[in-house]
Amino acid sequence: MATLKTRIFRAWYRFENWRAWRAPSVHDSPGGIELPGPHGPIRAHLYRGKAAAERPLVVYFHGGGWVIGDLQTHHAYCQALCDASGASVIAIDYRRAPENPYPIAQDDCLAASQAIAERHRDFGQDNGHLVLAGDSAGGHLALCTALDANGVLKDRLKGLVLTYPVVDHYTQPYPSYVDCATGQTLTTALMGWFWNSYLGGQDPEAEATQRAFPIRSKALAELPPSILCTAGRDPLRDEGMAMVEALREAGVETDYEHYGDSEHGFACSMGPSEDYQAWLKRCGEWIARR
């Protein structure tokens, strides 16, 4: 059962996203689907793109620290990404911590992506390619899914869209965890709570948890072309920059944008802004070329 703190943060995050976007209920909108998962069906939502036959199918993992986001909090953004790219988008309702700690969310995302890759024609037309996308914790899940991919999923995977992704544990010495400890919505303390909730008491240095830290992977060279952004006022800023460097050193074609005046959440949670519009346009154009 979720703690009182978790329930309060989930209600707050959903309200803030509603206030920013005024999106209707995702559950009242056409597009609800189910995908097979390791512990029963995984809910998802399909957004049909107007140029889907010429575009890859996008699988989207929402942010919210693996704890507070859901299909509703990212309903408006997923529709906007669908419209900007012309591609169909499938948003995944993976199981959240703390009720379902690591590696459950990663297992759900991998299983859902594998099913989509195998059955992609069930969701309408596409060009045969797949792109994984996500913001924050969702960007983390996109990276982890790509690193775990094999078979038809790996064959179809042609891109990663990573919006200020989580890539490492908060105990690592990234200066932005000090520079941006407070003063914006995502604080260092809140990021620590997210990680602690996700790992559920597991040791971040143990061999069993290393799959949770994509920047530490020895298989980065196997990843597809990627596009990543960071925000200036974000505890995750420096690990995102380090991820760009690691991808490029591994030989992965990596596009990068930095939004120095924005904070974490500008792209998906805070409503329209110039930086939101710029990143959405950039992602839409990038996806259209996959």
Catalytic residues: 136, 234, 264
* Mean per-residue pLDDT, 106-127: 97
pLDDT digits (tens, 9 = 90+) for 234-257: 999 999 999 999 999 999 999 999
Count of domains for the chain = 1
Task: Report residue 252 CA to chain centroid gap.
Answer: 19
For position 92, which CATH number holds? 3.40.50.1820
pLDDT digits (tens, 9 = 90+) for 24-77: 999 999 999 999 998 899 999 999 999 999 999 999 999 999 999 999 999 999
Cα–Cα dist 272/280, whole Å:
10
* Mean per-residue pLDDT, 4-14: 96
pLDDT band of 1, cuts 50, 70, 90: low
* Mean per-residue pLDDT, 188-203: 98
Cα–Cα dist 263/21, whole Å:
17
Q: For residue 194, is pLDDT > 80?
A: yes
User: Model-level pTM?
Assistant: 0.98
Task: Report residue 66 CA to chain centroid gap.
Answer: 10
pLDDT at 39: 85
Q: Show the domain range for 222.
A: 4-288
Q: Which residues of 194-220 are buried (b: 16+ CB within 10 A; e: fewer)?
A: bbbbbbeeeebeeeebeebbbbebeeb
* Mean per-residue pLDDT, 140-165: 98
